[in-house]
Chains A and B, each alone.
Chain A
Amino acid sequence: MIGRLIRLYPAHWRARYGDEFAVVLEERPLGPFDVADVLLGALDAHLHLRGLGAASQHGKGFAMSLRIGGYAAIAGGALWFVALAGNAINDGADSGSSVLGITLVTAIVVATAATLVALVGLSAFQSRRHPVLTWTAFAIPAIGAVVGLLGVVAMAVAGDTDTTFIGGLSAWAVSTIGVTALILGSALFAVATWLSGSLSRAAAALLFVGALLVVPAIGGVTGGLVPPVLGYLALVTAILAFPIGWIALGVSALRIDGPRPITLEGAPL
């Protein structure tokens, strides 16, 4: 993967920095954060060489940061609250063609995108200690996002949630599987965050509880898997805990990214 990442940079840049850059990439496990940062760095190097980046615009360029992940997590959390609460209130009665239905679908799509950005932006430290877990926590939601998006597009094209789409599953079922994968991936990310202690552990715990409760909550309310009272209790807890967990993780990332004292003598800085 390292060789492919370096090949994304311009030949002139590779000739100068390629060898030493490869050593830096080999030094520790690469996570989604590092890969995204290298992709942005390659884009920046191309624009820089063409005079569209630093040289002509006072050094503006692209950099991955906790700040991006933090803002994405906060935005995603707020949108997940709208999507989950709206869907629970709507109780699946809306076919998706009304204003409310379109609003909920839009909220889910944008929340999914924001969550993926958050998973990348907030994963800088987790991937160094738990690379497999962190990559899994990113890959499952990423696949889920693609599957969910396919389901949403199919619903939009057919104008009907019950139309058979793939493998006998309706478009609605496919999109639900996608969203469920994203939510379960969030639970894995919460575990990686808890283990690494890189962000607020309380926020990670809240996200984990919320993510795990979403599926049984939906099953309990709509499928009769658990008594209705327990189902609704789980649903309300999930609707609150999952979004608040993401928002709290985002806030803790922004706090880390804020001004910090820097010492000038001795190591560390």
Chain B
Amino acid sequence: MEPRIPELGRFAEPALLILVSLSDGPKHGYAIMADVEAGTGRPLGPGTLYAALARLEERGLIEALAPVDRRRPYRLTATGATLLAEQLRELSEFADLGLRRLGRTPG
């Protein structure tokens, strides 16, 4: 059975944000952190970032590439990309449901 992001517990949200950040190509740790913070306006601490990265790597959702100047980029694996797409689709369906109940057409 494929791992699911909700099983990452407290790190589910940072993990999802990291996967989205990696969806347009490999990034190293600081670039992921800066990207997530710029996109959400919320801080992502370095301890939380690496706790989530370790869990994602452990579950085979991301993989590390060869380091460049001590910076190691990460990229999505095929499993990670599938899981991310599924997770985002579920979120989108949930958002659509909420919008319909509010009487607003999903955009």
Where the two chains meet, the residues of A that have a C-beta atom closer than 8 Å to any C-beta of B are 13, 16-17, 19-25, 27, 33-34, 36-42, 44-45, 48, 54, 57-66, 124-125, 256-257, 260, 262-269
Contacts and interface: CB of A to CB of B under 8 A. Distances in A.
A61 B72 CA distance: 24
Contacts of A44: 47, 51
A105 B26 CA distance: 54
B83 interface: no
B43 interface: yes
Interface residues of B, number: 40
Contacts of B33: 24
Contacts of B55: 54, 59
Given A41-B47, A59-B10, A268-B35, 14 more contacts: A17-B50, A17-B53, A24-B29, A24-B49, A36-B45, A59-B55, A60-B10, A63-B11, A66-B43, A124-B45, A257-B42, A267-B38, A269-B35, A269-B38
30 contacts: A20-B72, A23-B30, A25-B46, A33-B45, A34-B46, A34-B47, A38-B45, A41-B46, A41-B50, A45-B54, A48-B51, A54-B8, A54-B55, A58-B9, A59-B7, A59-B9, A59-B12, A59-B55, A62-B51, A63-B10, A63-B45, A63-B48, A65-B42, A65-B43, A66-B42, A124-B43, A256-B42, A267-B24, A269-B36, A269-B40
Which of A44, A59, A262, A267 lies at the interface centre, i.e. has the most chain B CB atoms within 10 A of its CB? A59
Nearest to B29: A24
Top 4 closest pairs, chain A to chain B, by CB: A41-B47, A269-B39, A37-B45, A124-B43
B8 A64 contact: no
Interface in B33-88: 33, 35-36, 38-43, 45-51, 53-55, 58, 67, 70-72, 88
Contacts of A65: 42-43, 45, 48
A42 B46 contact: no
Contacts, number: 135
Nearest to A121: B43
A264 B46 CA distance: 23
B27 to A, nearest CB: 10
Contacts of B49: 24
Contact of B48 (A20, A23, A37, A268): A37
B59 to A, nearest CB: 9
Contact of A268 (B28, B39, B43, B51): B39
A23 B29 contact: yes
A175 B84 CA distance: 53
A63 B42 contact: no
Nearest to A54: B55
Nearest to B32: A24
B17 to A, nearest CB: 7
Given A59-B8, A61-B51, A38 B39 contact: no
Contacts of A60: 9-10
B54 A17 contact: yes
B90 to A, nearest CB: 14
A260 B91 CA distance: 13
B72 A264 contact: no
Given A267-B38, A269-B20, A41 B48 contact: yes
A254 to B, nearest CB: 11
A58 to B, nearest CB: 5
Contact of A61 (B10, B24, B29, B40): B10
